[in-house]
A and B are shown apart, each in its own frame.
Chain A
């Protein structure tokens, strides 16, 4: 048996070592990324990925901080699950749906512009309740800002940052909920790096975001993502992606875990920043496609 294995290994010798193949792929990927950055006029681009199948980890500008946009909702979800795991909250707890929040800057109240919030599933319940689970679901799958701010109110912003620190996730800074205009004008924004979000998602993928059951709960919600113009748009249709997008005027992000048939998942974070307001474009999808091609090439 051992001899057979050695024989098989000897037969493989003419094939270039995997290390060289990976290096070549990385160079190719790097070139492609530079091309995409140039073609799309990106002011900044941050990418980080980790492939559980090959254990390849690669980053481009991975520690650069970007405005988090709605990718911060992954951190809110983590904070919620922390409280659930500690028994301080249950996913079935009812939460009053109301549109009044307090700015972190001047303690002034503010309301969300519900016309901009894509999710009537939440604001349709104004004055009534939704459960923590329902709010978490709509916060991620339709990126509901109202659900996000309600959950931030429930668990407290400090809890979210505490959860990140507790799990040693550097590169994700959460200061506030969403649409806090006074905070925005004061330059107080949530920020993420590609490597920071990658760490968070790897914990979820590995079942180590507090516990296997907490991670499974997060994954289940993220797999139902309905905004799919980012990472999934660069993948074969059969791919399942547990992810969260983030789009405001000048930034378009996506961060997710990609499941392909017959192999372990890979985790990918793509953060893009434009000099001026722009449509979503296809930069994120193109990077996703190139990463997929690289992964497919190195595991073929």
Chain B
């Protein structure tokens, strides 16, 4: 039996080096406020998943394939419905905690479509920060053969998850709308970013051979270039 490739075999990309469209989708390094008004910086380093086979083959743990964390539907930006796909490097840490959860629950744990990494342009992203944008949250819809749809089931597994580690946050039944229906356990480990060891952090200060760090910087640079001669930027703004 051939050994399955490990996540370390994937190429790590600095999202600032990606093309304009991808940068505008992934928004690396941009600050986003959470519902409480706290600011968090979006991840910058991503694994590049070149094709579906790679996504299926790579295991983050014995029981969790990488594909489960990037399984999306048409709510995701069309560019990220195909390949290559990008997932924040911290997804490995999430998989580690999910492994503990799986052991504690005593059954297989299944992540729903759109329940792993979501880009900031995913239609379920409301504009506020949430750990799905960091690749550090999972919406679990099934445990063993039990499809989670009742308060009892969701409360039970929420409790098990909370007992695994203080780092894990779950949401109560009906957390999205605050009331009567829910279909998953939300499991997250907060706003963690992972900088792989092969990354030289000098680039944090001088990225991409003097290319702009952010998509909006690029846009502004182009806008400045487009100004008619003799017109100052502030005049144009008026």
Q: Which residues of A contact B (CB under 8 A)?
A: 89, 93-100, 102, 107-111, 126-129, 132, 154
6 A-B pairs in the complex with CB atoms less than 8 angstroms apart: A94-B81, A107-B177, A127-B110, A127-B112, A127-B113, A129-B71
Is the beta-carbon distance between A109 and B113 smaller than 8 angstroms?
Answer: no
Q: Which residue of A lies closest to B142 (CB)?
A: A127
Is the beta-carbon distance between A96 and B183 smaller than 8 angstroms?
Answer: no
Chain B contact surface mostly: loop
Q: How far is the CA of A253 from the CA of B180 in the complex (A)?
A: 33
Q: How far is the CA of A128 from the CA of B179 in the complex (A)?
A: 24
Is the beta-carbon distance between B183 and A100 smaller than 8 angstroms?
Answer: yes
Q: How far is the CA of A94 from the CA of B114 in the complex (A)?
A: 11
Q: How far is the CA of A111 from the CA of B149 in the complex (A)?
A: 9
Is the beta-carbon distance between A109 and B114 smaller than 8 angstroms?
Answer: no
With A100-B183, A109-B174, A126-B142 known, 4 other A-B pairs at CB within 8 A are A99-B183, A108-B177, A109-B181, A110-B180
A253 vs chain B, min Cβ distance (A): 29
Q: Which residue of B lies closest to A150 (CB)?
A: B73
Q: Which residues in B have their C-beta under 8 angstroms from that of A102?
A: 177
B157 vs chain A, min Cβ distance (A): 14
Q: Which residues of B contact A (CB under 8 A)?
A: 71-75, 81, 110, 112-114, 141-142, 147, 149, 174, 176-177, 179-183
Q: Which residues in A have their C-beta under 8 angstroms from that of B81?
A: 93-94
Which of B113, B147, B174, B180 is the one whose CB lies under 8 Å from A96?
A: B113
Minimum-distance CB pairs A-B, first 7 = A109-B181, A96-B113, A127-B141, A93-B74, A96-B73, A94-B73, A127-B112
Is the beta-carbon distance between A109 and B180 smaller than 8 angstroms?
Answer: yes
Q: Which residues in B have their C-beta under 8 angstroms from that of A98?
A: 112-113, 141, 183
Q: How far is the CA of A187 from the CA of B77 in the complex (A)?
A: 37
Which of A96, A97, A100 is the one whose CB lies under 8 Å from B182?
A: A100
Q: Which residues in A have their C-beta under 8 angstroms from that of B142?
A: 126-127
Q: How far is the CA of A110 from the CA of B182 in the complex (A)?
A: 9
Is the beta-carbon distance between A96 and B177 smaller than 8 angstroms?
Answer: no
Is the beta-carbon distance between B74 and A94 smaller than 8 angstroms?
Answer: yes
Q: Which residues in B have their C-beta under 8 angstroms from that of A132?
A: 74
Q: How far is the CA of A107 from the CA of B149 in the complex (A)?
A: 19
Q: How far is the CA of A129 from the CA of B182 in the complex (A)?
A: 18
Q: Which residues in B have their C-beta under 8 angstroms from that of A99?
A: 149, 183
- A94-B74, A94-B81, A99-B183 are contacts. A127–B177 as well, Cβ < 8 Å? no
Q: How far is the CA of A137 from the CA of B149 in the complex (A)?
A: 26
A100 vs chain B, min Cβ distance (A): 5
B95 vs chain A, min Cβ distance (A): 18
Q: Which residues in A have their C-beta under 8 angstroms from that of B74?
A: 89, 93-95, 132, 154
Q: Which residues in A have their C-beta under 8 angstroms from that of B73?
A: 93-96, 129
Is the beta-carbon distance between A100 and B181 smaller than 8 angstroms?
Answer: yes
Is the beta-carbon distance between B177 and A126 smaller than 8 angstroms?
Answer: no
Is the beta-carbon distance between B179 and A96 smaller than 8 angstroms?
Answer: no
Q: How far is the CA of A116 from the CA of B176 in the complex (A)?
A: 26
Q: Which residues in B have their C-beta under 8 angstroms from that of A154?
A: 74
Q: Which residue of B lies closest to A89 (CB)?
A: B74
B178 vs chain A, min Cβ distance (A): 9
Is the beta-carbon distance between A111 and B141 smaller than 8 angstroms?
Answer: no
Is the beta-carbon distance between A111 and B181 smaller than 8 angstroms?
Answer: yes
Is the beta-carbon distance between A108 and B141 smaller than 8 angstroms?
Answer: no
- A126-B147, A127-B142, A129-B73 are contacts. A110–B112 as well, Cβ < 8 Å? no
